[in-house]
Amino acid sequence: MSTLTEFGHRLSWPSVSAWRPDRRLAVVMFLAGAIVLVPAPRAPAPAERIIRIAASSYQYAPAIVRVHPGDRVTLELVSTDVVHGLYLDSYDLSLSADPGQTARLSFIADRSGTFRFRCSVTCGPLHPFMIGKLVVGTNWLGWRAAGLAILAAAAGLLWVRR
């Protein structure tokens, strides 16, 4: 333990012993906090949405589905070749459709963001890469990440050891 403590104090980057409150750090942290915490605008009123998705040859059509937060969404999965499935990330929902049959799944889109859906039934060599996306409202996580990236680049570029 004493060796590790000694090591921590002897590091020159990032230096533990040399750390002091820094105005630049405070500015960066404030901006990062603002990017993360700025509230998202209100979404339109929820509606009933029925979306038909055709699954075939390692792709979904449409590959990207857009709904509003709070919408009651019914997915109708139709397979046009072999048995395909649909697993929706984060919502942890899945369904599968036999060829020519329509499978249905209803849920409330109560989480905003972009979520992959992927085939859940082994359908061929490219099965693990059969992917679509559900976009619920605006993907604020992506926009916040982009804002943080700009801040990170500026901090990395300007913040040099003196």
Partner 1 sequence: MTRLEITRWPIVRSLLIHRWPQVLITSIGLAVFLLAIVAGLLGTPVGNRNFSIVIVWILWWGLLMLLAVPAFGRAWCSVCPIPAPGEWLQRGAILRPQGKGLGLNLRWPRRLRGIWLQNAAFVLLCVFSLVILTNPALTGLVLAGFLLLALLTSLTFERRSFCRYLCPVGGFIGLYSQLAPIELRVKDPAVCASHSVKSCYLGSDAGYGCPWLVYPLTLRKNNSCGLCMECLRTCTEDNIVLQLRPPGADLGETSSRRMDEAFKSLIMLGSALLYSGVMLGTWGPVKLVGSRVGTAAWFGYAGGVLGMLLIVLPGFFLLAVAVGKWWSSATSLRRTFIAQATALVPLGLSAWVAFSLAFVFASASYVFPILSDPLGLGWNLLGTGAFPWQPYGMQIVPYMQIGVLLVGLIWACRTSRQIAGEELAPGAALRLAAPVSAFSLAVTLGLIGLLVA
Distance in angstroms (rounded) separating the CA atoms of residues 87 and 85:
7
What angle, 0 to 180 degrees and rounded to 10, lies between the N-to-C axes of helices 23-37 and 140-158?
A: 170
- Which residues are at the interface with partner 1 (CB under 8 A)? 3-4, 7, 10-14, 57-60, 63-64, 87, 89-90, 92, 113-116, 118, 120, 122, 125-133, 139, 141-143, 145-146, 148-150, 152-153, 155-160
Q: Residue 47 or residue 125: which is nearer to partner 1 going by CB?
A: 125
Q: Residue 47 or residue 64: which is nearer to partner 1 going by CB?
A: 64
- Residues linked to residue 96 through DSSP beta bridges, in sequence order: 85
Structure tokens at 141: 């996580």
Least Å distance, CB 101 to partner 1, is 21
Least Å distance, CB 110 to partner 1, is 13
Sign of torsion over alpha carbons 127, 130, 136, 139: positive
